[in-house]
Structure 1
Amino acid sequence: MRLSPDALAADDWHLVVAHGAAAVQLAPNWPSLWLPLRGRLAMQAPDAQWCLRAGEAQLWRAATLRVQGSHESRWIGLTASQEVWCRHFANLRDEEEPLPWRGEADDIHDALATLVRDDTALDALLPALLERQRDVAACLPRCRGRTLAHRRQALLRLLWLRHLMQCHVEADDDATVDVAWLAERAHYSPGHLIRLHRAVFGETPSDYFARLRHARAWQLVRETDMPVATITHKLGFESQSAFCRAFKHAFGMTATEARRLETNACAA
């Protein structure tokens, strides 16, 4: 199902309630909120594919988005034009706009699920969303730009790049993702991207990517029996020895020692 802006009222909210392998495609400039109640959602945007699992939620504000449920899934989506989102957010807090995030759905699950049968649940959902983006919004003053709109656009670009890095690591994709590749997608020079990202988040894009990759390495080592050589390839390390050095430097132990901890914990 393609939700075309031409077919949707631009001055109202639109709720999507679906189950099974139903699919929805949204055009750009239509922010949306997604919550799988059961199963998972396969999400696809330019340069990125990822999954939302039950218990997670995501507020999307970027390019074209395609969403498809797994066969056993039940899921909810909420979308509206950018103007509707911005107007309602600004009514709650001056000059506020929706910002993208992804994470646990604890604080918005009940309000969004209730919205299926009660339109007034929107009055509880929107303040919860505003509170949810507080940490992201705190980055806005550190962005460069002559106006608030320019600074917000810079933050949205950076958040999109961080999302791309997260998707790449979660997919265990060994394709190259470097600063030059990221800078091209944000229409920045590599040097400008590094400076801006460091000013806003306190770390370079490479630092952030390394943290994500280390966290994924720890997950694969501790939660799977995947051979280290396979993990090395999946995470894009140059060699198994390079992976082992990086793992030891990040966690103070070898992958074998980390797995032994897991075995001992299970035995206990």
Structure 2
Amino acid sequence: MNLDTHFAPPLTVWPDSAERYRTPATRAPVSTAFQVHRMKFGEHLFLDERVPDETADHPRTDQLHLVRSSERTATLDIPAGWISVVLPLGGLLRARSADLNWQLRRGRMLAWNGALQIKAGNGSGWIVLCGPPESWCRAGADTTAVAEILPEEQPCARELFRLLIRLVRSTGRPLPDISEVSSQVSEISTTLQEQQRPLRNLLPRCAGRTFRGKHRTLLRLLRVQHLIRTQLDRHHDMVWLSKQVNYSVWHLTRVYRAVFDETPSDYATRLRLDRSLQLVRHSALAFCDITEAAGFESQSSFCRAFKKVYAMTPSAVRAQYRESVNAGNNR
């Protein structure tokens, strides 16, 4: 699968056209609307009808697919236009879409619309629920909930985690209950929709005359966030970021601040400082190495930014944290 194509907005299903994906009154049986895959060691699974395959059990692209694995080096390719929910259960899980690369650990989740490649590392257990928008509705998901899913990597709500685990258990039975599976898919889409409510609440702040225009603006700004978050080691200048979403530097800065109350540069600095705080507390790295790992240009600029946010120097924070750990161990 070619993932190096030009980025397209991840969400192509709009609430005003959601009728196209309306769930039929009588849902299809699990055997035709849902397919379960248990990936083995080193397996590479393509969920794409364009991949030649002579086997009779080739994945159907009109179904909702539940993919699970606890094996390392397994690789999953999801085609463009599909909605995916990726949940790591342990170890490090890598996800790639065009020029975006995530490293997902337990407690996080990725909701995405578009081509995606999942690669498991050592000790990785994971669940992926994916399929075209129509297949989600056909399997029981709420139409509006599916239409409102936004591309986002974020902490996984406990309820969503629990529902995905329940779905795995339900579909693992010899004779799964059709109504139970359908109900669980519906709950998963609704819970994800609710988890992303704070993100959707930003739509009125986005530039655009219509809902569709505001939605398009939010997707572009989310792309900027994804680029910064997944390439934090790289120094992102505003000229490069603005070109990725076809905005001028001035317009990107203005609309981004209007929605998120900070500039892209502020966001990148905040993420770098969050990373550096963890390294200061939980590692023995020299501050010059932390400066490089956090993406700052010099140790002096790192120390100034760190003290401005945390009101303490990195050395003081490290000393305070070690003192608190030692005090706890001596109790």
Of Structure 1 and Structure 2, which has the larger fraction of its residues in helix? 1
Q: CA deviation at 1:40?
A: 2.2
Provide structure 2 residue ranges, at least 5 long, that are not aligned to the other structure: 1-44, 51-57, 172-180
Q: Which has the larger radius of gyration?
A: 2
Q: Flag the 1:185–1:86 CA change in 2: closer, same or farther, 3 A.
A: farther
Is the Cα contact below 8 Å between 2:69 and 2:126 reproduced in 1?
yes
1:1-268 equivalent positions in 2, closer than 5 A: 1-4=45-48, 6=50, 9-20=60-71, 21-61=73-113, 63-84=114-135, 88-91=141-144, 96-105=147-156, 106-116=158-168, 117-118=170-171, 119-120=181-182, 121-169=184-232, 173=233, 175-268=234-327
2: CA distance, partners of 1:237 / 1:130 = 36
Q: Flag the 1:86–1:208 CA change in 2: closer, same or farther, 3 A.
A: farther
Q: CA deviation at 1:98?
A: 0.7
Number of aligned residue pairs: give it. 261
Provide structure 1 residue ranges, at least 5 long, that are not aligned to the other structure: none
Q: CA RMSD in A?
A: 2.1
Q: CA deviation at 1:219?
A: 1.1
After TM superposition, which residue ranges in structure 1, 4 or more long, deviate above 6 angstroms? none
2: CA distance, partners of 1:84 / 1:91 = 14
More displaced 10-residue stretch of structure 1: 253-262 or 17-26: 17-26
Is the Cα contact below 8 Å between 2:47 and 2:78 reproduced in 1?
yes
Secondary structure of the corresponding residue to residue 51 of structure 1: strand
2: CA distance, partners of 1:240 / 1:86 = 52
Q: CA deviation at 1:102?
A: 2.2
Secondary structure of the corresponding residue to residue 28 of structure 1: coil
Aligned partner of 2:41 in structure 1 is none
Give the TM-score, by structure 1 length: 0.89
2: CA distance, partners of 1:78 / 1:206 = 34
Is the Cα contact below 8 Å between 1:36 and 1:57 reproduced in 2?
yes
2: CA distance, partners of 1:70 / 1:4 = 23
Secondary structure of the corresponding residue to residue 146 of structure 1: coil
Q: CA deviation at 1:212?
A: 1.0
More displaced 10-residue stretch of structure 1: 105-114 or 6-15: 6-15
Question: CA offsets, 1:165-214, max 9 Å, x none?
Answer: 11223xxx2x3212111111111111111111111111111111111111
Question: CA offsets, 1:32-71, max 9 Å, x none?
Answer: 001112222111222222211122211112x532111123
Give the TM-score, by structure 2 length: 0.73
2: CA distance, partners of 1:189 / 1:143 = 16
